[in-house]
Amino acid sequence: MQLNILKKKGEIYKAEIIESIPEGEDVSLYFHGDWHDLCRGPHLSSTGKIGKYFKLTKVSGAYWRGDSNNEMLQRVYGTSWSSQKELDDYLNRIEEAEKRDHRKIGKEMDLFHFREESPGSVFWHQKGWSLFQKLISYMRMKQETAGYQEINTPEILDRSLWEKSGHWEKFGANMYTSTTPDEKVFAIKPMNCPGCVQVFNQGLKSYRDLPLKMSEFGKVHRYEPSGALHGLLRVRAFTQDDAHIFCTEEQITEECLTVTNLILEIYKDLGFEEVILKYSDRPELRVGDDQVWDKSEAALLEAIKATKLEYSINKGEGAFYGPKIEFVLRDAIGRDWQCGTLQVDLNLPGRLGASFVDSDGNKKVPVMLHRALFGSLERFIGILIENYSGKLPFWLCPIQTIVIPISSDFDDYAKQVNSQLKKVGLSSEVDLKNHNLNYKIREHSLTKVPMLLICGKKEVDSNTVTIRRLDSKKQETMDLKKFLIKYSALNKAPSI
């Protein structure tokens, strides 16, 4: 009853907070001079102790207790550090991050957008999709060289398969399901693994077939509350550069080393040289016998040590079905992004009936390694955009060159140049619009096109192009044939 009076008078929030403290328990209050509040503490001995290295950063709305049926409160955010330098560094990082926000740049570069009708699912525009496909083509090439077989499996699978794999139980809350008119329950895949095992299970396998590497650019769906979604970085529908390696226990070490090297090579191609590894070993609750865990953990650790990279050990943080390595990239402004994983799985193959005939003629269950390098193509693109502020490596740019005639007198030459660029595989466009040169230069630098090729009388007469690079006022005239040879050669990843 007393709490109701409190609510009527207005200190409703304090009343609710006290209400949630169990009966009979004392409450702790902190006083700073006269001011006081409920607080568990601990606190510093006086208000002067915090120093002045703080700043209030923003205000936003927030529902009381996070419930949209309650009142909207005002949330004031602040940051606080132990020195002026730390505060300044932080504020610079934030400012820099805002300049590079992939949603802002994605809009400027006309790459993608989102709609209310489909939260967390990307509408890729032509240029964004071109970038997406360039990454996949690159990954495809690297994987083919490394002996992977690319497959493709259904998005929708019967509930019974998800129950067999264990996903129904563990992932159920995040899965999209549907009941068909014939009263079957299906779910859209949140992971590609069970589908992959189905392909492996087709046809008897022998030890001679192992290691067997199967890759899939699989699109998965995972429900997330709309409040958690954030541009490309946190979505509901994403494409994994997924692959599963089926191997024997003896092959675990070799395969882990190979995968780790592949991951690092790819990150280097994309411009990420600072990679940190996180290793997670056996949890208390787990499947599989200690001997295989020993082998798997030793294999991962050997792979890690061979890289000579910085790594941390998260004791007991592995999944119940196997230990793992997580690959963390550090971007241009010092932020860490966990992208790749290499996970040993001692559980799923057995659960889903996978087997192979060993050299002794006996049927055995293979070990399975899961790996993803980008993790999610969508999220990786967001990271790339922010790392490069949209000024991507040449070979990844959705539009690599735009040919611009100085006036309509040179339209024909410009069109010719453009078609020759496209013939050698460059992503090129020609801008014949009725705007002046300076306008076009400004417009195309907003979309971060790396090179504009200007054509006028001089260029027509000498069969050349005048190159104007992004962020530079300098111009360079080059023989067209020379340009075609040079830039078609540069139109690939460094390691290829």
Partner 1 sequence: MKKSISGFEVAEKISKSLSKQALLISVDGELKDLNHSISKDSSIKIFTSKDKEGLETIRHDTAHILAMAVQELFPGTQVTIGPVIEDGFYYDFARKEPFTTEDLEKIENKMKEIVDRDEKTYREVWKRSDAIEHFKKKGRNI
What residues make contact with partner 1 under the rule CB under 8 A?
2-3, 5-6, 9-15, 17-18, 21, 23-33, 35, 37-39, 41-52, 54-57, 59, 62, 64, 71, 73-83, 90
**Rg (Cα) of the chain, in Å, rounded?**
28
Q: By the 8 A CB rule, do 236 and 281 touch? A: no
For partner 1, the closer CB: 11 or 108: 11
What's the min distance (Å) between Cβ of 114 and partner 1? 25
SS3 261: helix
Among 222, 282, 286, 371, the active-site one is 222
For partner 1, the closer CB: 75 or 435: 75
The position carrying tokens 């529908």 is 237
Residues 6+ apart with CB under 8 A from 348: 165, 166, 193, 194, 197, 321, 368
What's the min distance (Å) between Cβ of 36 and partner 1? 8
Q: By the 8 A CB rule, do 79 and 87 touch? A: yes
For partner 1, the closer CB: 52 or 308: 52
Q: By the 8 A CB rule, do 403 and 414 touch? A: yes
370 is catalytic: yes
What's the min distance (Å) between Cβ of 174 and partner 1? 24
DSSP string, 152-194: ---SEEEHHHHHHHTHHHHHGGG--EEE-TTS-EEEE-S-SHH
240 is catalytic: yes
Among 102, 127, 134, 193, the active-site one is 193
For partner 1, the closer CB: 97 or 309: 97
Among 100, 142, 236, 242, the active-site one is 242
Instruction: Give the angle 322-274-261 at the CA atoms, nearest 5°.
Output: 50
Among 236, 370, 379, 468, the active-site one is 370
For partner 1, the closer CB: 14 or 457: 14
Q: Residue 450: how many CB atoms within 10 A of its CB? A: 20
What's the min distance (Å) between Cβ of 100 and partner 1? 18
Residues 6+ apart with CB under 8 A from 133: none
> Helices marked H in 308-447 — which ranges?
348-351, 377-388, 411-423, 437-446
Nearest to 478 by CA among 470, 85, 486: 486
Among 244, 282, 444, 448, the active-site one is 244
Structure tokens at 426: 């460059």
What's the min distance (Å) between Cβ of 116 and partner 1? 25
Alpha-carbon gap, residue 6 to 14, rounded angstroms: 9
What's the min distance (Å) between Cβ of 233 and partner 1? 16
For partner 1, the closer CB: 42 or 361: 42
Is the four-CA dihedral 353, 357, 363, 369 of positive or negative sign?
negative
Q: Residue 204: how many CB atoms within 10 A of its CB? A: 10
My answer on whether omega of the bond before 211 falls inside 30° of 0, hence cis, is: yes
Among 103, 127, 236, 240, the active-site one is 240
For partner 1, the closer CB: 8 or 170: 8
431 is catalytic: no
125 is catalytic: no
What's the min distance (Å) between Cβ of 8 and partner 1? 9
Structure tokens at 343: 């996970």
397 is catalytic: no
Name the residues annotated as catalytic: 193, 222, 240, 242, 244, 324, 370
